[in-house]
Amino acid sequence: MRQAISILLINPWITDFAAYNLWAEPLGLLYVASILREAGAEVQFIDCLSSTRKKNPSQKENGCSKYPRRVIEKPSALRSIERQYAVYGKDDGEFISELKSVGKPDAVVMTSHMTYWYPGVSRTIRFIRSVLGPRVPIILGGIYVKLCEQHARIHSGADVVFTDHSLRTLPILIEDVTGKTLNSHPSFYTFADFPLPLHELRRGFNFFSVLTRRGCPFKCSYCACPLLSPDFASRSKESVLREIEKYTTLLNTKQIAFYDDALLFSSKQHIEPLLERIIEQGRGLSFHLPNGVHVGLMTDKIALLFFQSGVKTIRLGLETASRELQEKTGRKTTNRDYAKAVSSLRNAGYQREEVGTYIMAGLPGQTPGDVENSLDFVHRTGGNPHLSYFSPIPGTAIFKEAVLASPFPIEEEPLFQNNTIYILGNRAFSAQSLTYLKQKAVELRGQR
């Protein structure tokens, strides 16, 4: 009998000044696990962000938490930054023990996330090599390698970087690097046909995340979605409902996050019938929308469906109330759209503190006054502002302008693409202005 190919899947450590888990899962890797298992592979999984020995700090009932954190030495490029740099996730000894327990896999498949978290990727790979040896091939995919392919080839330590947008080619690549044959090759053609992701491989979290769609039809100048998922594909509501039913039972949780980039697009054919079915089932689930919802697509009906189906966390993607910057960043929304969306949500039953709204600071050409006006506009309109810093992403329309505007070599060194770092080089934003804006956002959130 032919022996199955053994694959070890790994979600790497994060290295950064700060990190917080807003219902994040390595969904791409969990889909890969499902696809490879269907093809006959033996799949094992290690999540460097989750410890089996200790609970995640500040664990909330809704699923959010901090990650375990240990201060480490900063990369040389960041030594002038007066903040503690840390690795987030399980400790080194726990990771080594788990690596020793998996035997000798035929290959390691690892994902990556933010470009500026690459030291966590290379750190993870060094530990893999030290335990499994140099002969086990390591395949690295994910966001970092797609946006910074050459940098990943040189600096990650992986044997192969996988940049294909389609996962159909991954099983073929695995056969090539292992010299072994899978039982079958995937029959799917688009994301809509994927098997359900294997959420059960993760431990230590009381939530799971769902993608009902992959990609986005909009092209905001600061967003990498069109680069990472150029094809826009939707799953059937039956598939989404099957995933929700299976994993709320299997994981014994009612906390679910939708991580779509365009959840409300073509709502009558997609999110509306999905939420109507969820309401009919009456299971008392709680849903969270950490990605910015397109305010121009919000309607009274959607707002009511959100409220009745149990959507507890909403983040509206306004980003800025400056009409000039709205035009410059892709014309995704207008202040009028935002006011209408807030009105719909408030009329449906949501309170001000539940209508979270992202406001971005540090965009090229933006001023602290623009940000303050945006914070005031959100509060005045009935929403709750959440301040976020702009992160320059390679390949986006605004990236070249961001390069020219920064004293840091952000094109050559992904560490400087960190939103915490990039804004420090934005001459329009002093440390005092940033402190003021952060305090103002907090104060406005505290007002009714």
Q: What is the CATH number of the domain that holds 354?
A: 3.20.20.70
pLDDT at 1 over 50: no
Residue type at 92?
D
Whether residue 67 contacts residue 89, with contact meaning beta carbons closer than 8 Å, is answered with yes
Same domain, 136 and 253: no
Q: Are residues 220 and 173 in the same domain?
A: no
What is the mean predicted confidence (pLDDT) over 127-152?
98
190, part of any domain: no
Q: What does the longest C-alpha to C-alpha distance in the chain come to?
A: 70
* Range(s) of the domain holding residue 53: 6-178
- pLDDT per position as a tens digit, 267-281: 999 999 999 999 999
Residue 196 lies in a domain: no
In a domain, 27, yes or no: yes
Q: Are 170 and 220 within one domain?
A: no
Average pLDDT score over residue span 55-73 = 88
Is the same domain home to 172 and 272? no
How far is the C-alpha of 435 from the C-alpha of 439, rounded, in Å? 6
Average pLDDT estimate for 339-349: 98
Q: CA triplet 119, 120, 126: central angle to 5 degrees?
A: 90
What is the CA 81 to chain-centroid distance, rounded? 25
Q: What is the pLDDT of residues 202-240, one digit of tens each?
A: 987 899 999 999 999 999 999 999 999 998 999 999 999
226 in the same domain as 164: no
- The answer on pLDDT for 74 being more than 90 is yes
Q: Is there a single domain that holds both residue 51 and residue 151?
A: yes
Same domain, 265 and 134: no
Burial class (CB in 10 A: 0-12, 13-18, 19+), 334: middle
Tens-place pLDDT, residues 154-172? 999 999 999 998 888 999 9
**83 & 230 share domain:** no
Residues 221 and 157 in one domain: no
Total domains present in the chain: 2
Asked whether residue 173 falls in the same domain as residue 211, the answer is no
User: Is 197 part of any domain?
Assistant: no
One domain, residues 171 and 216 = no
At residue 129, what is the residue type?
R
229 and 214 Cβ atoms separated by less than 8 Å? yes
User: Model confidence at 446, in pLDDT bands (50, 70, 90)?
Assistant: confident
Angstrom distance (rounded) from CA 10 to CA 4: 19
430 and 294 inside one domain: yes
CATH of the domain at 150: 3.40.50.280
Please give the helix or strand (H or E) that residue 72 lies within, else none: strand 69-72
Spatial separation of the C-alpha atoms in residues 169 and 150, rounded to whole Å: 20
Enumerate helices (H) and strands (E) in the chain, giving the number of each.
Answer: 16, 18
Distance (Å, whole) CA 121 – CA 51: 17
